[in-house]
Structures are given as C-alpha cells and as structure tokens.
Amino acid sequence: MKKGKSTKATVAKRFAVADEYLINGHDKAKAMVSGGYKQLTATRNSGSVFDRPEIIAYINAKKVKAAARNELTEDWIIQRLMALADSGRVLAKFKKVQSDGAIAWDFTGATQDDLAVVQAIGVDYYTEGRGPDAVQVKKFRIKEPDVRQALVDLGRTLAMFTDKVEVNEDLADRIRQGQKRAYDRNKTESDPTTRH
C-alpha cells in the first residue's frame, strides 16, 4: 500500500467519528477519542478528520437531513427568537392597570401566538387584611421571556458579533516555549556545523 492512502478501516473510522460528533453536541475532540484516536491527536489535530472534504460534505448532508426531518430552518429559528425578543410588546396589551394602581394580567382574547411567548404561568392565593374584612386574593404570576438573551441569540444566529476567546496566559507561555524549542531544534538540525 502506498503511503498517504487510506485503508477502508481508516475511512470507516473517520465516518464513525463524524457520526459521534453529530450525536455528542459537536465536540470534535470527544468524538475522536470515542472513535479510537489518542487524546493528543484529538485535541491537537482534529483537522486530520474534520478538515477532509468527504467528512465536511458528510456532516453537512446529515445536518441538512436532520433539519428537513425536523422542519428546522434558519428562518424558523430567527422567527422564534424575534418573537421572544418582541415579547414585551406582545404581552403589554394583556397588562391591565387596576383602580388601586396595581397591574394585573387579563388574557381575554389572547391568541395561541400571544400565549406562546409566555414562559410560565402560575397562580398565587393569599389573604389580604384580617378578621371580617379579610379578602381572598387570586393573583396570576407570569414569567416573561429573557428579551436580552433572545437578542443575543438572534445576533449570534445572524453572525452580527462573535464571542472573544480568552487565552490562559500560562497556556500561551507554554505554546511560545514549545515553538521556540521547535525552532531551535530545526535550526540545529539544519546547521551543517552541528552534525557529527
């Protein structure tokens, strides 16, 4: 067998790693270790599997099939995130100011779409006052969506901004030292005066 050619077993191993990647939440290193690669290879050289055109095409095809099977599209995600981000406007019409200035919820006339933005509904029962003047009170508790998080998720979906990657200084120093050692070793090996 010529060097650089992949055996059937190696090709099958790569596709098994791709399947594991799709199952485990897109953790490349974990998928490679599960597929039989060494931890060092998995963490430093995931490209040996995931940068291959046939693996990229395979993963993309599987994602498209899964999205179609679940009717999941980018537009669907964007619409849902926009609805959550705009939930304050949707729910505002159901907030009623009472005669005492308190705000109460009244969902009379609410549609299914209106109610879809409500995260949770609860009811609190309590008594106001004491003795013969005590009044039983029933109050709805509504959990509204986290608008800020919906906007952040929407921005990420649309690639409007990216997260910063923080590098541990200790790790950065170790990488620089390793690069220097590799450079020094290569320089020594290529210098004819240092050969025996």
9 and 50 fall within a common domain: yes
What pLDDT score does 131 carry?
87
Question: How many domains, in total, are found in the chain?
Answer: 2
Last residue of a domain, one of 36, 70, 104: 70
Q: What is the pLDDT of residues 41-88, one digit of tens each?
A: 888 888 899 999 999 999 988 888 877 776 667 787 888 888 888 888
Q: What is the pLDDT of residues 104-145, one digit of tens each?
A: 888 889 898 888 888 887 888 888 888 888 888 887 788 888
Q: What is the pLDDT of residues 15-26, one digit of tens each?
A: 999 989 888 778
156 within domain boundaries: no
Domain coverage including residue 132:
78-150
What pLDDT score does 4 carry?
56
110 within domain boundaries: yes
64 and 91 fall within a common domain: no
- Residue 147 near residue 82, CB atoms below 8 Å: no
Give me the half-sphere count of Cα atoms (radius 13 Å) on the Cβ side of residue 126: 7
DSSP E strands, the chain: 95-97, 103-105, 120-128, 135-143
